[in-house]
Structure 1
């Protein structure tokens, strides 16, 4: 084992030496002239450097000492922010041993954590969601310019070692940066002014002690593996080579970098908390290993009736007798469908790029940059042949008893019988879906000063991202061919085709792993999606005080920023013939462009007067015209700052932000498409429930929905509970359930009104202390979002027949059915889904930031930093007649944001006087989460009859991180880091896919689910 074991011992030894921690989204020690923690951070990075190797920060200056602050286009000294900004410094990032940007941002309470690396259905792209309001509402910038398209956003393009800092501005910023900055802005500030050669390396892995959990005994009882003992796995490597050189006395500056990342796979079967998928089959039922109708290497066979409804579920007896046994636990079900799912997805990424700037005049600079990346990752899916297919009743692979079960009286004849077949062809033969993401981002422009009063920046961004998605899928025609078998058991043949490649499928015995059959059944086609952004901007800022435009009570003059911008987004989707033949779809080319103009003003009204150290008013206005909308719209902001004394500052910001739909949202709203079953099998809730007994007999029960609800969908009382309402299977596709219609909606811009107001305390009698608290309130009207068919079906039931939801259930006249022939493009007989403007989204809460520096004179100093968030409301209102849904602290029943009411990061860092050594201890706290059934709030399903008695609450979790940094000399530094130092296990959450879209029996976005993470990092400068 070698590298991993050696690193394990080294990091653990270092961890025992002292308490330390990576910083999280904190603010840095305040300087005397700074006004807020965020502004103080800009001035103090050099003072908090933890390594003698770290270069002094490039402080994002436009010249003349002016500081560029995220959230404003205006550049001026000591600028005060009216909106709260959280910053993460390069030192913090090093201390976290972050391999990707996702690791950094997941620790910020203001960010809804994402975990693409532990999400088996991921496409490999990393996105940011501020306030849990969706990535479409978070604008991502690199050095103040857009990262790329919203639909193709991938912050993995940025190597963490290249970051100078990350600024997070929460709250609307559309008037400054444009549409889609509804939830806020994340600005990645890169190191661009580097000279020399530097190598940064980081290797980390998981050092976890697998202890028996509630899952372990259940998994073993079902015949599945559940590991015990210490394991070292999940290695992640990150290496960056950076080089820079200055020419012509520093007039020409060139920098370049190459970054390589690799991630090892960790399977669900390699953790004791995920030995099988934990589920509760009904409210308060005992937990059990979920055995889905697709989980057996023995092969699961379900005979179907004429409507495509299963009349039984059987597994081929693994004893080789060619008999059926009932599907369920025991010998007939000896494989775990999810065992080859990834807990950590394997991936490999290369980033490369460079920066160049040239002073063409004393006050004029030409600049350009380019970043390229290539990322490949995989999702393992079990190789399941399945669907509604026909089998010949004289198939030689069928025993007499099997033929009788499937065909009845037709057993042994040439007749065909419908079955649903789910056969996993061996765990080692699971077929991966692959994602290849490549991209290029180019920037360029001219910036500088015009006289003493004006600065300008004329430039643009070209960004292109491409994704090749290559899934494995069953060739439906080949499956049909392989199941129509003639000849004899000893010499079977494909009876219904002349295809010489056809391989007869022995679907009626256990353990078939024939490689030739797998090759014949499975195809691999590729779909390609290319998104491009063309963005051209012209911005000028001016200090009107140079012309005498200054308040008589202020020292600084009025500042102004003017800008105009043109953007064009395109999205092109194509696929090869294999993909289209197997999975369908059509090629698309979507585009949208926008013209915008904006103005921003900052007006200091009073400065350095009694009872008014500072009184300042800010304003901004932007007008936007999108090609997708017939009319223009405007956004604005009004801000105020009042500091009666230098120790205390009050601030407030009010914003109107509007977001136009992305090109994908427009197509999802307007394009009409039909499919049987939608995103999952659904039967009409007004149809009778169906029960099949052991003998294959069918009985009908009471419908799921009440008569009143069904009446609200347009169904006559006479048809309530009629078997004719049962949605049949589609023989051509194998899909079952009702017809779902996607699209046919309007998609108008959504409007958000955001407020933030708070105070900053910097008492002069406690030097080094800064504290801020800010209240935020966000309300989005006509909120854009994608709702699948369950939004209408569940909403119609929950609301007891509210027309807002029930209108999405469109019945065929006369028959009242909800199934149609999709090929005929019907106008009735379906359930709607797609992107539309629904009612309101709401987010409210408080942000807390604090920092304190204790100077220990000749011994060094200790820095404390706190970043916490209290969420008081997270949810919205689904319709005008529905109550508001507050999901803060709850999960389930549509509360998918997984937002605890309180979370924080608190770190303390000790640094020696010579900065040769630092030690940090970090406390990450995640508040409790409760199932919405136990909320006591009927608006989110918290009714007495739904109250749960088990597994309804996730207790608060505390994680402790340790980081040691040794500056060996000016050319070399070493880092030893332990994240989740105590190896805290993740909480158990049954039916986790319904909660977190993960089969891990926990919520990997929120919790350190893979255990203790140990890291060794080094920086070498040549």
Structure 2
């Protein structure tokens, strides 16, 4: 069955319900069916993520991957994000290897750059389409003081409080509501421990200066007949690694020299027209000349004055100022208590406080002034006059961007005297929840209920040093007499080269910029589950409930940013809120037990109705089958509808700017194309800067994304491999998945817009941007909308094999694989975007095959774990690097990123000879010191930080004490 619309799926669910209750009527007079007995090889049953019915089985209609505390400790990682980002089904997601502030600009979704945060992406569908729960309850979205985020920052959840992580790799909107299109990550916290636990960890990189990590965790817990409690405190610190520590990260694009460097240089680049002669210059002062002299009679590049024509060798290498690994410090406290009021009613309460202090760094902030600057700032583009009276102006005439006499096309200056841009974030997260739960019987059938309330808030403050006030730059470049009338103003020298901007000049133009953002989530839930009636094949189980949520978010940039005076990436203030009321119902209908079709056949059906204050009501449904063919073979399948409501940033985000790295197809030789001439490009045009400013904005008219998810799978545990001489247990799981998302919320790809306008004459694309008379792109609008369709499918293949335990110990192999068969994004014009399996694009990749093999050996107090992580080969467009040796297939404009395999090794020892226990672990991740493949299209550091590890080995040691 393949429903094609919400109405059809709803009709199918209603029909299934009628059939179920028809069966109920005939079964009420029948004798009760006894539960199955003696299932020696039947799969284990526990309550897991993916259903609200408490009798759900582990291998249910949907695949759930459970990462136990043992799995977490064995990984060698020290954060939740590192663990889930290394799942084979994970896609590109933000982490502390992204030095994002100051380089990426503001993304179209209004969520900000997420500096210092870490998120999770499943099935390469984006972190916004993954729902993160803690103990089955939604967690607040991140704040990083640059927007209103729509993803959860996993760095707000300390690893030490986690008992296990359950990952549902399937759509689950009908069970959990919005955001669960790609799947669900449910983090289960520790309820109690017996006594006191102390854990210490330390790690460092072998070949990099910096990157040292260390931390400590304290836990105390216990229980009585009626009480359970756990209190924990954690501290974690990670030190930075500068980009100059890694060769490929020390240049803008590895293997291309300065070809992709910045035209804003410490010496200064000046592109202007002499109003007296009409000559156009593109020049830069000679190095070491503090007071350059200009000869207007020399119009060529053979010059005898203090200037020369700007060339590639003059470009600025910004890369060494960046960070390869960003510093992060996290402190958290957590408490959880449970109390049994009666044998059938209990209550619980949880509180958490987490503080993150992190930082990002970028090269000294450039000045781009002139009509070609393209920064959407009147002070830089349309109202600037560099006075001829400015004592440092060597040209003897005004350089102006005002009106028809505009003659300053571009002045690019990199004020290294002011130091690098440094962004420091302080993020505070509070969470509090309380609830009641209980049990009762209806006609001897057990029912259970629970009610929960929760409030969470994430608030971020960011302090930015090393940026500039563009209004004050204008004042300091203008008439010296006008400058003298302004307190603190001194004339500014942008013409004398490196070292000529004095501390007095910096004091006037360089502010401290402070930004804030906040996300709040308040919710109430009530759930009821139990067995309705006894049917011919077992009890008809159900779950039903109500949920209320309110989201509030705001972003408040510094007042100089709001006033349009910030020289960096401009943005506006954002605030908004909405609430949602939801009702859901879920049924598990037993269709057969011990019949000619096999052991059992169960039908699951669910439907959820959500009423949003922003766009109205939405229904989603799900239907699935679980067929236990035999004790050793399970078949399962499901079809689910999903939706994702637009976030606060997507709805209410104000105009901001994203600096996109784009290749203008009309630049250089492309200027001669007739299509480029039709686009207003003059002969001889060359793109001045590789980064083009793109304006983005939220859209209050956005509608939810909708999706369909199909899952078909099997789990086989062959009896011949159970308790045999060569095998204690063998489990083989195969799952096919398919997701289709309609009305995907996105901004059109800016590069694709350029190419569609130039090569296809698409009028919609051509209306998105403007060029100056010189051909430079000076306006580019890219506003969010419900555009396009995303389709992806693939396979998960997992094998678990445990050998019989002997004198030599116990050995287990756990092999997980994900194969992506298709990923395509169809844009608003019906064309397929370039992102696809096997391709590296925009700092993210979709490998066709990712694999993890864990070999775990245990004997007595000793255990050894060897983990192999494999990433398949990728290709990328050479883009601006075409023609360089680093592009290994320049004829086809392709650079190949070879397959990469990491090896991790951990040795552990456990003893109870002292106190209650001592645990010592030591390990090395990336034991062979594998470097990531060089990436030409990645924005920073020459590699894809969302797909690969940092270069070199990381070794660590841990000590745990139980009292």
Same fold? TM cut 0.5 = yes
Name the CA distance, whole Å, in 2 between partners of 1:417 and 1:974: 70
SS of corresponding position for 2:73: helix
What residue number does 2:739 align with?
778
Name the CA distance, whole Å, in 2 between partners of 1:317 and 1:159: 51
Name the CA distance, whole Å, in 2 between partners of 1:591 and 1:318: 56
- Could you say if the C-alpha distance between residues 819 and 985 of structure 1 is closer, same or farther in structure 2, counting changes exceeding 3 Å? closer
- Could you say if the C-alpha distance between residues 243 and 428 of structure 1 is closer, same or farther in structure 2, counting changes exceeding 3 Å? farther
Name the CA distance, whole Å, in 2 between partners of 1:359 and 1:660: 38
Say if 2:290 and 2:500, in contact at 8 Å, map to a contact too.
no
- Could you say if the C-alpha distance between residues 428 and 721 of structure 1 is closer, same or farther in structure 2, counting changes exceeding 3 Å? closer
Residue 924 of structure 2 is aligned to residue 978 of structure 1: yes
Correspondence list, 1:521-920, <5 A: 521-544=509-532, 547=533, 549-551=534-536, 554=537, 556-581=538-563, 582-583=565-566, 585-630=571-616, 632-668=617-653, 673=655, 679=659, 701-702=671-672, 705=675, 721=680, 742=697, 746-767=701-722, 768-787=729-748, 789-797=750-758, 800-802=760-762, 805=765, 808=768, 832-879=781-828, 881-882=830-831, 887-892=836-841, 897-912=844-859, 914=860, 916-920=861-865
Residue 911 of structure 2 is aligned to residue 968 of structure 1: yes
Correspondence list, 1:57-456, <5 A: 67-76=46-55, 78=57, 80-121=59-100, 122-149=114-141, 151=150, 153-208=152-207, 231-246=208-223, 249-278=224-253, 287-290=256-259, 292-294=261-263, 296-303=265-272, 311-318=281-288, 320=290, 322=292, 323-328=306-311, 336-388=317-369, 389-398=384-393, 402-403=394-395, 418=408, 420-426=410-416, 429-451=419-441, 452-456=445-449
Say if 2:243 and 2:941, in contact at 8 Å, map to a contact too.
yes
What residue number does 1:475 align with?
469
SS of corresponding position for 1:859: coil
Name the CA distance, whole Å, in 1 between partners of 2:905 and 2:661: 48
* Superimposed CA distance per residue, residues 213-256 of structure 1 (whole angstroms, 9 cap, x where no aligned partner): xxxxxxxxxxxxxxxxxx4531012221111133xx33122221
* Superimposed CA distance per residue, residues 776-818 of structure 1 (whole angstroms, 9 cap, x where no aligned partner): 01011111223365453334446x2456655656999xx9999
More off after superposition, 431-440 vs 617-626:
431-440
More off after superposition, 642-651 vs 866-875:
642-651
SS of corresponding position for 2:244: helix
* Superimposed CA distance per residue, residues 313-343 of structure 1 (whole angstroms, 9 cap, x where no aligned partner): 414422557322444466x66x632212000
Say if 2:682 and 2:775, in contact at 8 Å, map to a contact too.
no
SS of corresponding position for 2:454: strand
1:513, distance to aligned residue in structure 2 (A)? 6.1
What residue number does 1:463 align with?
456
Name the CA distance, whole Å, in 2 between partners of 1:755 and 1:237: 43
CA RMSD of aligned residues (A): 3.6
What residue number does 2:866 align with?
921
- Could you say if the C-alpha distance between residues 723 and 811 of structure 1 is closer, same or farther in structure 2, counting changes exceeding 3 Å? closer
- Could you say if the C-alpha distance between residues 367 and 921 of structure 1 is closer, same or farther in structure 2, counting changes exceeding 3 Å? same
Of 930, 933, 940, 1:987 maps to 933
Say if 1:640 and 1:652, in contact at 8 Å, map to a contact too.
yes
- Could you say if the C-alpha distance between residues 349 and 327 of structure 1 is closer, same or farther in structure 2, counting changes exceeding 3 Å? farther
Say if 2:738 and 2:792, in contact at 8 Å, map to a contact too.
yes
Relative to the length of structure 1, the TM-score reads 0.76
* Superimposed CA distance per residue, residues 391-413 of structure 1 (whole angstroms, 9 cap, x where no aligned partner): 33344435xxx427x869x9xxx
What residue number does 2:29 align with?
none
What residue number does 1:216 align with?
none
Name the CA distance, whole Å, in 1 between partners of 2:958 and 2:135: 26
Name the CA distance, whole Å, in 2 between partners of 1:833 and 1:100: 35
Name the CA distance, whole Å, in 2 between partners of 1:378 and 1:505: 30
Name the CA distance, whole Å, in 2 between partners of 1:204 and 1:1000: 22
1:141, distance to aligned residue in structure 2 (A)? 0.5
Say if 2:600 and 2:629, in contact at 8 Å, map to a contact too.
yes
1:597, distance to aligned residue in structure 2 (A)? 0.5
* Superimposed CA distance per residue, residues 817-836 of structure 1 (whole angstroms, 9 cap, x where no aligned partner): 9999xxxxxxxxx7542211
Say if 2:609 and 2:619, in contact at 8 Å, map to a contact too.
yes
Name the CA distance, whole Å, in 2 between partners of 1:811 and 1:481: 28
- Could you say if the C-alpha distance between residues 737 and 362 of structure 1 is closer, same or farther in structure 2, counting changes exceeding 3 Å? closer
* Superimposed CA distance per residue, residues 377-404 of structure 1 (whole angstroms, 9 cap, x where no aligned partner): 1111223351325433344435xxx427
SS of corresponding position for 1:92: helix
1:576, distance to aligned residue in structure 2 (A)? 4.4
Name the CA distance, whole Å, in 1 between partners of 2:765 and 2:497: 47
1:728, distance to aligned residue in structure 2 (A)? 14
Say if 2:156 and 2:356, in contact at 8 Å, map to a contact too.
no
* Superimposed CA distance per residue, residues 978-999 of structure 1 (whole angstroms, 9 cap, x where no aligned partner): 0000001111122321xxxxx1
SS of corresponding position for 1:952: strand
1:355, distance to aligned residue in structure 2 (A)? 0.5
- Could you say if the C-alpha distance between residues 737 and 429 of structure 1 is closer, same or farther in structure 2, counting changes exceeding 3 Å? closer
What residue number does 1:1006 align with?
947
What residue number does 1:717 align with?
none
- Could you say if the C-alpha distance between residues 540 and 703 of structure 1 is closer, same or farther in structure 2, counting changes exceeding 3 Å? same
* Superimposed CA distance per residue, residues 479-525 of structure 1 (whole angstroms, 9 cap, x where no aligned partner): 22333486xxxxxxx76332342244333133346334333221122
1:102, distance to aligned residue in structure 2 (A)? 1.5
Unaligned runs of 5+ in 1: 1-30, 44-66, 209-230, 280-285, 487-493, 692-699, 711-719, 821-829, 935-945, 994-998
Name the CA distance, whole Å, in 2 between partners of 1:426 and 1:532: 39
1:874, distance to aligned residue in structure 2 (A)? 1.4
SS of corresponding position for 1:303: strand
Say if 2:483 and 2:489, in contact at 8 Å, map to a contact too.
no
Say if 1:387 and 1:735, in contact at 8 Å, map to a contact too.
no
SS of corresponding position for 2:511: strand
Unaligned runs of 5+ in 2: 1-37, 101-113, 142-148, 293-305, 370-383, 723-728, 880-888
Say if 1:205 and 1:232, in contact at 8 Å, map to a contact too.
no
SS of corresponding position for 1:753: strand
What residue number does 1:215 align with?
none
- Could you say if the C-alpha distance between residues 810 and 264 of structure 1 is closer, same or farther in structure 2, counting changes exceeding 3 Å? closer
- Could you say if the C-alpha distance between residues 76 and 609 of structure 1 is closer, same or farther in structure 2, counting changes exceeding 3 Å? same
- Could you say if the C-alpha distance between residues 291 and 320 of structure 1 is closer, same or farther in structure 2, counting changes exceeding 3 Å? farther
- Could you say if the C-alpha distance between residues 741 and 363 of structure 1 is closer, same or farther in structure 2, counting changes exceeding 3 Å? closer
